[in-house]
Amino acid sequence: MAEMDDDELLDALGVEVTPLKISSRTPREERIVAGFEDILRFHQTHGCAPLHGEGRDIFERLYAVRLDRLRKLPEARALLAEMDAPGLLSPGAAASSADADALDEDALLAELGVTHTPTGQNDITVLRHVRSSAEKRAAEEIAERTPCADFDKYQPLFEQVERELKTGIRKTLRFGRDASIAIGNFFILGGQLAYVAEMGDQYRTPNKETNARLRVIYANGTESDLLLRSLQRALYKDETGRRLTDPDMGPLFGEAVEPDDIESGTIYVLRSLSKHLFVAEHRELIHKIGVTGGKVESRIAAASKDATYLLADVQVVATYKLHNLNRTRLENIFHRLFGAAQLDLTIEDRFGNPVKPREWFLVPLHVIDEAVQRIRDGSITDVVYDPKSAQLIGQVQQ
């Protein structure tokens, strides 16, 4: 058999030989293509073009600057036309940027991670697409919010905190006086309630500060994985950033008062010693609920001469110390809760004028105590008072 050369042998085997394509692109064009491929990958991952903004990832901001410059390079639009399926370079997609306008073509190439050499060739000693230490630190500080897969576990916590804010159990304090961050803390950041659910191992930064990776859950069902120092900085910069006090940071009711607590007053529950037939018959059920900023003893000293107290002496049957809460607001809570059981009684004052005392209710003492406890844990908004059964019931049962 006649000897075959290499081409004939490959042809006999059914192998097609495709000649190697030699790129006709210049090194500059290769760099432009490589830079645009990064932008395309970002678009494919996030479904949108990269945007400017301090709150965005440092690489998104870099890609946004790069894209603005590519849109203004006529040679780039012609070179990248076949690759630009999303239409990122079209005039309608262009977005102005002062940063991008300030970059010349060499600066653009620098943003692409390439150092321009005098010969116009790629220098193999120059690192391409490698983040600097500053970029790495910035990327560590910025974390994107993602959907929280187990938000159903945290949603009741947010609902309870909102109730505690409404009833005054929790307060909001300007972030800064206390800059500590711990698991279980609640903050308001960017108008959103944020909860510190997890904290990784703590470590020391080069400047000797304590740092740690956090898992922060937000009330809108998202979460972020960011550094403790990053959260602190964000709260400092946010003019509306707030820390939420814990229920035990200045208890509403209790025996012990912390040094920083502001004592607002006392809730008092009174029982009348009046000889009025109806009052005497229902003495164990009729109670006056009030709130005072002074001493209860001083408040009731002249009860027998005051129609507010049914012109009779009274017995103090319960008191609850009050801290960090608006007294008037709390008084209104009791009036709304027990309004349906308000005592409908008219008596004559010392001058014979008819008076209808307020703040007296046909409510057992143990129900009043339960109401106080529900104010403490924030569940008071979930119940109403049922005069027929003389108990607090869920609102859905009303």
Beta bridge partners of 322: 265
- Report for 16-20, 23-27, 95-99, 351-355: range of highest mean pLDDT: 351-355
132 is written with which tokens? 């600097």
Indicate if the pLDDT at residue 217 is higher than 90.
yes
pLDDT at position 93, please? Answer: 58
pLDDT at residue 2 in the model: 58
Would you place residue 19 in the very low, low, confident or very high pLDDT band (cuts 50, 70, 90)? low
**What are the structure tokens assigned to 89, written together?**
């370079």
Contact partners, residue 370, CB within 8 Å, separation at least 6: 392
pLDDT at 195 over 80: yes
* Per-residue model confidence (pLDDT) at position 251: 46
pTM for this one?
0.40
pLDDT at residue 373 greater than cutoff 70: yes
**Is 80 exceeded by the pLDDT of residue 281?**
yes
More confident residue, 364 or 136: 364
Task: Provide, rounded to the nearest whole percent, the portion of the chain with pLDDT above 70.
Answer: 73
Q: How far is CA 82 from the centre of its chain?
A: 44
Please report the pLDDT score of residue 120 as a whole number. Answer: 45
Residue 44 has pLDDT above 90, yes or no: no
Vertex 170: Cα angle to 181 and 156 (nearest 5): 80
pLDDT, one tens digit per residue, over 142-174 is 457 889 999 988 998 898 888 878 777 778 888
Q: Where do the domains of the chain lie?
A: 23-131, 172-244, 263-397
The CA-CA-CA angle for residues 156, 161, 165, to 5°, reads 150
Of 394, 375, 374, residue with least CA distance to 384? 394
Q: How confident is residue 119, by pLDDT bands cut at 50, 70 and 90?
A: very low
Work out the end-to-end distance of the chain between its first and last CA atoms, rounded to an integer number of angstroms: 103
Query: With 90 as the cut, is the pLDDT of residue 270 above it?
Result: yes
**Is residue 187's pLDDT more than 90?**
yes
pLDDT band at 218 (very low <50, low <70, confident <90, very high): very high
Q: Indicate the Cα dihedral angle 21, 25, 30, 31, nearest 10°.
A: 170
Residue 5 has pLDDT above 70, yes or no: no
pLDDT score recorded for residue 106: 54
Q: CA-to-CA distance for 169 and 298, rounded, in angstroms?
A: 27
Q: Which residues are registered as beta bridge partners of 192? A: 189
* Alpha-carbon gap, residue 273 to 269, rounded angstroms: 13
pLDDT of 68 strictly over 70: yes
The stretches of the chain forming alpha helices (DSSP H) are 6-12, 27-46, 58-71, 74-80, 98-101, 105-111, 133-141, 151-167, 228-237, 277-281, 296-299, 327-337, 365-377
Mean pLDDT for the chain overall? 76
How do residues 74-91 score in pLDDT, each as one tens digit?
888 888 888 888 888 876
Given a cut of 90, is residue 336 above it in pLDDT?
Answer: no
What is the C-alpha separation between 350 and 307, in angstroms, rounded?
A: 8
Higher pLDDT: 141 or 41? It is: 41
pLDDT above 60: residue 18: no
pLDDT 10s digits, 290-314: 888 888 888 898 888 888 888 889 9
Does residue 73 carry a pLDDT above 80? yes
User: pLDDT band for position 92 (50/70/90)?
Assistant: low
Q: Assess whether pLDDT exceeds 70 at residue 43.
A: yes
pLDDT of residue 95: 46
Q: How far apart are CA 200 and CA 212, in angstroms?
A: 6
The hierarchical CATH code for the domain 172-244 is: 2.30.30
Span 234-252, mean pLDDT?
A: 74
Helix axes 365-377, 327-337, angle to 10 degrees: 130
Predicted pLDDT of residue 272: 92
Task: Give the pLDDT mean for 349-360.
Answer: 78
